[in-house]
């Protein structure tokens, strides 16, 4: 089979790597790809900018199926465009992608289908929002309605920080339109978990759980990022938690999709909060998470192509996804200054590593050398039956990866007992 992957991050590199290990996969094209996919077995980067060009390429090369990695093309309707030309593509249509594209719409969907979530209010008027901040209890959470590269969710500890955040979103428009509408919701105290799932619109199957580390600095301090590292499985996702998640969040979501006639074939990423009062849904993502994918796929024994093909054929009810009896850790290496301003073009030196897999997120191949091109540059995933051994090996091997200004958290998975 020939496959087309759309995207340029670590998630797309991990998907390409996983598929490249499968005998049924002959060729993988990645648009635009990165320095990692350029070097991966069976892979070739291509540079196509429009849906029209991608569709023409898929037809010409007889691509068996296309995978959409990032959320933006999904929200903009790439699946609708491909399907209108009779092409197989893995991902939700535009209506389904709105579950990530609009926080307000997602909250309304949760409320309508009695999915357990934090109390909230939506605002499109700054004055009304500021008035609400005078009356509410703190801390509170302010979310930009649209897509903000993982940086549109702010926990505000007091009234002043709430007002500053609201003005940044709605008045200064720091997210270029994505924060003109905001959701203000109650703050939930607990532990976050990431649960990726796959659905064919009739059946939904959860993947192994994960725990992301969003804040840039050790000790969960500093601003949110796209993700500084992941451990998998999440030690806080017990059998009881998973049972409640399925009954009160996952299954009602699938029911809602069916009732709304939303054509959703792809991954639903559930961001949940585990609290003393139970499990709450924080948000939907409509694709694989990043860097969760880089930690989860190395533990997946089942061929990814098998899962995708059976999803496209609406045959997931006959699939069982098998997992390695191991744990994994993924640590992200970033450019100095991330998530704010940072410099690009730093040469990356990688000495041979003893264990694990490097996934490129923000680096390109230039004159046969890897050069930084993004804030999150690359990550290392290590797996082991003993999580503490995996963690130790990961941090030992990270020291063999160097570029000017490299920064990474030193405490990913530190609090986990094996």
pLDDT digits 0-9 by tens, 272-294: 999 999 999 999 999 999 999 99
CATH code for residues 125-180? 3.30.1490.20
Q: How far apart are CA 237 and CA 210, in angstroms?
A: 8
pLDDT category at 260 given cuts 50, 70, 90 is: very high
Give me the mean pLDDT over the 41-61 stretch: 97
Residues of the chain with CATH 3.30.1490.20: 125-180
Task: Decide which of 3.60.15.10, 3.30.465.10, 3.90.600.10, 2.40.110.10 is the CATH code for 327-408.
Answer: 3.90.600.10
CA–CA gap between residue 35 and residue 370 (Å, rounded): 6
Q: For the segment 68-110, what is each residue's pLDDT rounded down to a tens digit?
A: 999 999 999 999 999 999 999 999 999 999 999 999 999 999 9
Please report the pLDDT score of residue 116 as a whole number. 95
pLDDT tens digits, 337-383: 999 999 999 999 999 999 999 999 999 999 999 999 999 999 999 99
Which CATH code for domain 2-93?
A: 3.40.50.20
> Which of 3.30.470.20, 3.40.50.300, 3.40.710.10, 3.10.20.30 would CATH assign to domain 190-318?
3.30.470.20
Intervals of CATH 3.30.470.20 along the chain: 190-318
pLDDT of residue 416: 62
Q: Is the pTM of this model over 0.85?
A: yes
Contact predicate 208/299, CB 8 Å: yes
Q: What is the pLDDT of residue 418?
A: 44
Whole-angstrom Cα distance, residue 251 to residue 248?
7
pLDDT number for residue 96: 97
DSSP structure class, residue 331: E
The whole-number pLDDT of residue 5 equals 98
Instruction: Give residue 224's pLDDT.
Output: 85
The CA–CA distances, whole Å, from 240 to 142, 194, 198, 244, 274 equal 30, 16, 21, 6, 11
């Amino acid at each position: 089979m020939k496959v087309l992957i759309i995207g340029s991050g670590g998630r797309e590199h991990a998907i390409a790597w996983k598929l490249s290990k499968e005998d049924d996969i002959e060729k993988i094209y990645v648009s635009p790809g990165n320095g990692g996919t350029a070097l991966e077995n069976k892979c070739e980067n291509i540079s196509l900018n429009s849906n029209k060009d991608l569709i023409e390429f898929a037809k010409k090369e007889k691509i068996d199926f296309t995978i959409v990695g990032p959320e933006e093309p999904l929200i903009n309707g790439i699946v609708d465009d491909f399907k209108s030309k009779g092409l197989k593509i893995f991902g939700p249509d535009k209506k389904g992608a709105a579950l990530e594209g609009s926080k307000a719409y997602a909250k309304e969907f949760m409320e309508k289908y009695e999915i357990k979530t934090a109390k909230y209010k939506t605002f499109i008027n700054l004055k009304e929002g500021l008035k609400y901040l005078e009356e509410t209890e703190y801390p509170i959470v302010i979310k930009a309605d649209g897509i903000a590269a993982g940086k549109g969710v702010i926990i505000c500890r007091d009234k002043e920080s709430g007002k500053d955040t609201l003005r940044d979103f709605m008045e200064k428009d720091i997210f270029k339109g994505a924060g003109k509408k905001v959701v203000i919701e109650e703050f939930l105290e607990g532990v976050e978990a990431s649960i990726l799932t796959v659905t064919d619109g009739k059946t939904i199957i959860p993947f192994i759980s994960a725990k992301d580390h969003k804040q840039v600095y050790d000790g969960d301090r500093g601003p949110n990022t796209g993700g500084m590292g992941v451990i998998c499985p999440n030690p806080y996702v017990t059998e009881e938690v998973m049972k409640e998640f399925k009954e009160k969040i996952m299954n009602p979501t699938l029911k809602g999709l069916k009732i709304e006639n939303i054509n959703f074939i792809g991954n639903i990423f559930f961001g949940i909060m585990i609290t003393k009062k139970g499990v709450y849904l924080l948000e939907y993502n409509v694709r694989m998470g990043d860097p969760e994918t880089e930690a989860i796929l190395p533990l997946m024994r089942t061929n990814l192509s098998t899962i995708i093909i059976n999803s496209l054929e609406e045959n997931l009810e006959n699939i069982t996804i098998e997992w390695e009896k191991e744990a994994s850790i993924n640590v992200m290496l970033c450019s100095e200054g991330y998530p704010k301003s940072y410099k690009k073009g730093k040469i990356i030196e990688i000495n041979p590593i003893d264990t694990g897999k490097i996934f490129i997120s923000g680096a390109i191949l230039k004159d046969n050398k890897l050069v930084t091109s993004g804030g999150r540059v690359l990550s290392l995933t290590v797996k082991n039956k003993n999580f503490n051994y995996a963690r130790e090996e990961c941090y030992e091997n990270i020291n063999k990866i160097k570029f000017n200004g490299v920064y990474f958290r030193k405490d990913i998975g530190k609090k986990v007992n094996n």
